[in-house]
Chain A
């Protein structure tokens, strides 16, 4: 079969994968009740959403190249470092960004790629095994096509702009292709790992539950890394630069590590002014080794993706079941336990675990830069914390969409559902607050303000969570909840998150107003607004039935 024909077939299959990644149909969501025209609209929306996801990744790569790499290399952002070092740091950081952003994007879609079991549809057709494998692989590549093409194009444009040599450009291009192959390999490894160790792993012992949690944390590491790369890009580039500036013996080890090997090689070949031949030789050897490794990785990815497509992933060993005992709890506790169990195994909901980790890590990092923790700083930190916390309710609500066609027949009260998810969300907020207080204590900084205002703000955040959940629950009850995950339907979530943000911001605004006009009333104003919001939303939730 001709390549164009294979590509066309892969496009049809890819459309189905996109659709499932948005609506999780196989996962049991019921589509909103609609006529045929609306369904066509939903199919079109699914394709647009997947396209947007690719474009967002591409834009991030572009922003990184434009804002971090370019100013550094042409010296317009106040950084004073040799051009060669700047290119070295820029190329290395850029390759790291490409690697992590593609992995980050891939993990969101690759799970749908596996669960859609595309070859179940293709196998009965008169296609050879080889043709099916090619279609599956092309479909996998289509998940990443725009960022894969855009990364080298954007980079080479920037590289040309700074006036690097052709040889340096070729090396950089080789580095980007290697980074992309590594990204595809890492996505495949993690998707495979996830299905073998997390999704397929049953068992009820505490040890197995703990093991599953550890596997889940391992699985989300690249996402965590991507977040850090994007948020601390400037610091990363500067660190890379300072590490390389010394050209010490440490550098000899560093040039052997990806992506520094390509970074050093590209910078040496871009500007020939100052060449350390030992390091150059080492970086050439390392880069060639990585290129060979990438070649073998590509072969492995091709094979594994084909296996993933034909559902030949296998499952973990089945545990011997001794009894059939279950422990029914109160409904709200049942909902919390179910949400935690689903979140610990479903990639789309891994963010439930990810968000508190990121939140704590970011806060701990930011903390060290403050000389003193005044009210403004405390309120700023609390705003950030509440904004991240308020992303959790939509994620938790979308769990109800996983089997909505079944779940909606259960005699579940809206109040119970909202209360359970509010408790789970606010737990994250309080946990972050505790971690923050501990960090402050360790750094010998006063944490009274953060703790006092944080606890009070907790009422406002709880009210905001209840508001979001009330909107979501009404939507869920009325038309079903056919959403895939947080990343694929941003528009749905933004409209729900905004009212929550506004509610959480009101006590902070009232404190600012009090600070401007009557500083003595800062705390009372803050407390009064937070408690009023909480009381009001509690009443609204209680009246839900």
Chain B
């Protein structure tokens, strides 16, 4: 990739190799430039122009999101943006609010408060917003009595997909994920990994602009994991956006352009891994170390480990 191409934000997104520091530095600079431009625009009181600029580049915009389960507050005042061409890692300990946030984005949950947009479309405008999204849920529970073929037929019917195009894509994905042999086996009889493959293929079939993947690597074999990671990269190279939730810090570190760390229903830190390293002053630390520090899980952990070891 040429330097000229890298200088352009969208081209950068298409061709980035996320763990190369020079490119990340460039990315940070680009972020700064972008922020300066917006600030300048604000100063000039051209609010409408700024709004247009943001909508043009933003795949996802979440502002002040709040979700309750009865009296339990799952997410409170949560905000983040995902740009086109970006892989946004949503990290957090168990019960932090990642899946809840994702469920609001895909239209499964209704928020108590906040503004959520997908490519400028409010998620309350259900059908157009949902049409932009390919979703792999955390717990893959599909219509178990159907076969993968029947399930694909149902979902593609709902999405009104063209028969020829969809069959071409399906053939490619089924071959890539080695699912062809299970096409006429009831989903109930498939292994967890194969069910996951069905969900992944379903999410990709309509060539969505935004992929929302909640723990997509769980249950996948090494080959399928590798293919999925490559597919995610290809997707962003084409200008698509990805929200990726995972507990595997190594994967997030290698794959994600930016990460947002959620704790107790709020984004506690956000940025590139480099940004976060600087922030927590542990430049040599892995994302796991950063994560534990940011989510305040590091304190006392050594004592716990020691106690377990002594036992």
Contacts and interface: CB of A to CB of B under 8 A. Distances in A.
Contact of A200 (B69, B186, B199): B186
Interface string A193-206: 00000011111100
B142 A330 contact: no
Contacts of A33: 68-70, 109
Contact of B69 (A26, A35, A201, A319): A35
A341 B71 contact: no
Interface string B99-129: 0000000111110000000000000001111
Prevailing SS type, chain A contact patch: loop
Q: How large is the interface on A (under 10, 10 to 19, 20 to 34, 35 or more residues)?
A: 35 or more
A324 B145 contact: no
Nearest to A412: B158
Contacts of B135: 409
A34 interface: yes
Interface string A35-65: 1111000000000000000000000000000
| Highest count of chain B CB atoms <10 Å: which of A334, A410, A413 | A410
Contact of A333 (B147, B157, B170): B157
B159 A411 contact: yes
A338 B146 contact: yes
Contacts of A30: 108
Contact of A34 (B69, B106, B110, B199): B69
A202 B189 CA distance: 10
Interface string A12-32: 000000000000001110100
Nearest to B131: A411
Nearest to B161: A328
B184 A319 contact: yes
Given A199-B145, A338-B146, A409 B130 contact: yes
B180 interface: yes
Given A324-B171, A325-B167, A410 B158 contact: yes
A338 B152 contact: no
Contacts of B128: 411
A545 B127 CA distance: 9
B279 interface: no
Interface string A298-327: 000000000000000001001101001111
B121 to A, nearest CB: 11
Contacts of A346: 145
A412 B68 CA distance: 25
Contacts of A37: 70
Contact of A321 (B68, B107, B184, B188): B184
B137 A405 contact: yes
Contacts of A75: none
A329 interface: yes
A394 to B, nearest CB: 18
Nearest to A204: B184
A329 B180 contact: no
Contacts of A410: 130, 155, 158-159
Interface string A128-153: 00000000000000000000000000
Contact of A338 (B131, B140, B143, B199): B143
B156 to A, nearest CB: 4
A326 B156 contact: yes
Nearest to B68: A33
A327 B152 CA distance: 9
B181 interface: yes
A201 B137 CA distance: 26
Contact of B127 (A203, A204, A338, A411): A411
B154 interface: yes
Given A202-B147, A324-B149, A35 B70 contact: yes
Interface of B: 68-72, 106-110, 126-131, 133, 135, 137, 139-147, 149-150, 152-163, 166-167, 170-171, 174, 180-186, 188-189, 199
Q: Which 5 A-B pairs have the closest CB atoms?
A: A334-B157, A35-B70, A28-B141, A411-B130, A328-B156
17 contacts: A26-B141, A28-B141, A35-B70, A199-B145, A202-B184, A321-B182, A324-B149, A326-B152, A326-B156, A328-B159, A328-B160, A345-B145, A406-B142, A409-B135, A409-B137, A410-B159, A411-B131
